[in-house]
């Protein structure tokens, strides 16, 4: 099987579909055309640049470049978690909790997958590390932001019931056990659902890519299963760490609820 | 004995006073003057400076949960976290008995919390607050959602607790209630709190 290269004309043809989006927005006065345009251009620029950047990094095959780019990816993912929250924690925690958590869980799972399971030579081969890290990060970041958003909004909404429990003498984590459980569930649900749908409803992107590039579907499936495990593990542990860490920060050692540590309070 | 010394509550001069078993301190002052914050500070629900002792027990020396079990705060707005009312009580049977004294029908205990009126919830929360017999009760507008009849029952219960030696600090907007219950009055005026015998 051969790899079919796309011409820029092929892409232009596909871009007509975006124009249809724009027309729908204008027709129904959804007001989306401006952000549609901006985000389409953003997507174009980001993806074109990343093509060149990855080409460059792949050519170096140096641990320094690989790790440097990986760190950058994690920092950007951390910013994205923060951006998705309607209310953030004040100070370092606002950016730090998501970023630190993702740093630990994504580097652990990626190193496990690449270093131990796949075992390319050399181990720091960027063509394995960076795509896997990207897939893990993309999913943990949505799990973490969903979990944190739920925790914070539930604590704010349930403030009177949480404080009633605190006043009754309930200990720090017991008083907030309902918001905690809600947050963990919400953070983990999407990946659990994704596993159910994958294969029949959705052919996961990575597997599709490998198949189109000429890989044997059975081999591609094995990679996809590996990725699913990595993503599920990283999302679960990342959500747990970030949510429990934030719950720790939003209460104190006297068992009080500390919503004053949120921005805008 | 409850001893509050140099307690710093948002925007007010440091507050000091002493109360003994059977004392009822009624807190008076305009809305937003810090009455609720004073009660929250005594229950250690907000970070404050100053020292508070209950007999030999000190607020900062004791585990927070123990302190709040002895010094119980009841907010104006009651909070619930389980489906049915009864699930919130350690001893549902004793709670039902107390409910009779406060004119709460027995079947209300089996209802979902959401089906209760605000007045019914307020009385239920009061029962929950006195269930484990705290030594100090901090009541934030305990009868705000009650009709006269229910308010009278609640006041009777408050007096009964007072007679048993419980120390009560009550925030109320009702002059009549203040006159009926208070042995001491704390008045907040121009950023200063003053405690006097009633």
Per-residue pLDDT tens over the stretch B114-167:
999 999 999 999 999 999 999 999 999 999 999 999 999 999 999 999 999 999
Residue found under tokens 């078993």? B21
Q: Which residue of A has its CA nearest to B39?
A: A167
Strand, coil or helix: B141: coil
Q: Which pLDDT does position B51 carry in this prediction?
A: 96
pLDDT digits (tens, 9 = 90+) for A212-263: 899 999 999 999 999 999 999 999 999 999 999 999 999 999 999 999 999 9
pLDDT digits (tens, 9 = 90+) for A101-140: 999 999 999 999 999 999 998 889 999 999 999 999 999 9
User: What mean pLDDT do residues B59-85 have?
Assistant: 96
Count of pairs with CB atoms under 8 A, one residue in A, one in B: 57
Q: Nearest Cα to A179, choosing from A145, A196, A146, A156?
A: A156
Q: Which residue of A has its CA nearest to B70?
A: A169
Q: Nearest Cα to B131, choosing from B112, B109, B111, B148?
A: B109
- Cross-chain Cβ contact B65/A169 below 8 Å: yes
Q: Nearest Cα to B182, choosing from B146, B164, B150, B158?
A: B158
Q: Which residue of B has its CA nearest to A175?
A: B81
* Residues B143/B151, Cβ–Cβ less than 8 Å: yes
B81 → closest Cβ in A161, A169, A171:
A161
> Of the CATH numbers 3.40.50.620, 3.40.50.300, 1.10.3720.10, 3.40.630.20, which one belongs to the domain with range B2-79+134-197?
3.40.50.300
Among A44-53, A86-95, A107-116, A204-213, the least confident range: A204-213
Q: Which residue of B has its CA nearest to A160?
A: B79
* Residues B133/B87, Cβ–Cβ less than 8 Å: no
Q: Which pLDDT does position A2 carry in this prediction?
A: 67
**Residue of B81, B126, B129, B132 to mutate, testing the A interface (most A Cβ within 10 Å of its Cβ):** B81
- Cross-chain Cβ contact A170/B77 below 8 Å: no
A169 → closest Cβ in B68, B74, B81:
B68
Distance separating the N- and C-terminal Cα atoms of chain B: 18
8-state DSSP, A57: H
- Cross-chain Cβ contact B81/A178 below 8 Å: yes
pTM for the full model?
0.90
Residues of chain B contacting A255 with CB distance shorter than 8 Å: 64-65, 68
What whole-number distance in Å separates Cα of residue A137 and Cα of residue A154?
A: 25
Q: Would you state the torsion angle of the CA atoms of residues A65, A69, A70, A75, taken in this order, to the nearest 10 degrees?
A: 140
Ranges of each domain in chain B: 2-79+134-197
ipTM: 0.95
B64 → closest Cβ in A161, A162, A255:
A255
Min Cα separation A251/chain B (Å): 11
Residues of chain A contacting B81 with CB distance shorter than 8 Å: 158, 161-162, 164-165, 178
Q: Which pLDDT does position A241 carry in this prediction?
A: 98
**Residue of A164, A171, A255, A256 to mutate, testing the B interface (most B Cβ within 10 Å of its Cβ):** A164
- Cross-chain Cβ contact A160/B75 below 8 Å: yes
Q: Is residue A31 over pLDDT 70?
A: yes
Strand, coil or helix: B81: coil
Longest dimension (CA), chain A: 70
Min Cα separation A189/chain B (Å): 23
Q: Which residue of A has its CA nearest to B81?
A: A161
Which residues on chain A place their C-beta less than 8 Å from a C-beta of chain B? Answer: 158, 160-171, 178, 252, 254-256
What whole-number distance in Å separates Cα of residue B117 and Cα of residue B115?
A: 7
Residue found under tokens 């009651």? B78
Q: Nearest Cα to B183, choosing from B34, B19, B73?
A: B19
User: What mean pLDDT do residues A79-96 have?
Assistant: 95
pLDDT digits (tens, 9 = 90+) for A150-170: 999 999 999 999 999 999 999
- Cross-chain Cβ contact A169/B74 below 8 Å: no
Q: Nearest Cα to A62, choosing from A130, A138, A136?
A: A130
B79 → closest Cβ in A163, A254, A256:
A163
User: What mean pLDDT do residues A171-183 have?
Assistant: 97
**Residue of A155, A156, A162, A167 to mutate, testing the B interface (most B Cβ within 10 Å of its Cβ):** A167
What whole-number distance in Å separates Cα of residue A12 and Cα of residue A17?
A: 10
CB atoms within 10 A of CB A225: 15
């Amino acid at each position: 099987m051969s790899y079919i290269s796309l011409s820029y004309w092929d892409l232009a043809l596909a871009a007509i579909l975006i124009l249809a989006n724009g027309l729908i927005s204008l027709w129904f006065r959804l007001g989306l055309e401006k952000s549609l345009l901006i985000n389409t251009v953003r997507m174009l620029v980001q993806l074109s640049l990343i093509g060149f950047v990855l080409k460059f990094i792949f050519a170096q095959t140096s641990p320094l470049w690989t790790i440097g780019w990986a760190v950058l990816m994690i920092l950007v993912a951390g910013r994205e978690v923060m951006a998705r929250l309607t209310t953030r924690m004040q100070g370092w925690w606002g950016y730090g909790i998501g970023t630190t958590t993702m740093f630990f869980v994504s580097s652990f799972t990626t190193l496990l997958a690449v270093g131990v399971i796949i075992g390319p030579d050399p181990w720091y081969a960027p063509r394995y590390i960076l795509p896997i890290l990207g897939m893990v990060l993309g999913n943990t970041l949505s799990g973490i932001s969903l979990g944190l958003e739920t925790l914070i909004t539930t604590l704010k909404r349930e403030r009177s019931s949480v404080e009633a429990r605190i006043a009754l003498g309930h200990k720090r984590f017991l008083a907030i056990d309902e918001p905690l459980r809600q947050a963990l569930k919400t953070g983990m649900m999407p990946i659990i659902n994704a596993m159910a749908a994958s294969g029949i409803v959705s052919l996961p992107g990575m597997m599709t890519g490998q198949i189109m590039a000429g890989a044997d579907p059975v081999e591609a499936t094995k990679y996809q299963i590996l990725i699913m495990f990595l993503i599920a593990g990283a999302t679960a542990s990342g959500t747990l760490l970030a949510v429990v860490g934030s719950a720790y920060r939003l209460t104190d050692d006297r068992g009080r609820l500390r919503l004053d540590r949120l921005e805008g309070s | 004995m409850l001893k509050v010394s140099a307690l710093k509550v948002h925007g007010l001069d440091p507050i000091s006073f002493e109360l003994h078993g059977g004392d009822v301190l009624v807190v008076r002052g305009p809305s937003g003057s810090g009455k609720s914050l004073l009660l929250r500070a005594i229950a250690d629900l907000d970070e404050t400076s100053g020292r508070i002792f209950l007999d030999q027990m000190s607020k900062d020396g004791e585990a927070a949960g123990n302190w709040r079990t002895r010094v119980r705060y009841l907010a104006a707005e009651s909070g619930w976290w389980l489906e049915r009312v009864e699930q919130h009580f350690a001893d549902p049977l004793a709670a039902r008995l107390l409910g009779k004294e406060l004119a709460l029908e027995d079947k209300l205990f089996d209802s979902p919390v959401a089906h209760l009126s605000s007045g019914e919830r307020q009385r239920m929360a009061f029962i929950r607050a006195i269930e484990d017999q705290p030594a100090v009760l901090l009541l934030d507008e305990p009868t705000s959602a009650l009709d006269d009849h229910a308010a009278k029952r609640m006041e009777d219960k408050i007096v009964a607790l007072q007679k048993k030696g419980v120390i009560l600090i009550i925030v109320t907007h009702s002059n009549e209630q203040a006159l009926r219950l208070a042995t001491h009055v704390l008045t907040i005026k121009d950023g200063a709190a003053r405690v006097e015998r009633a």
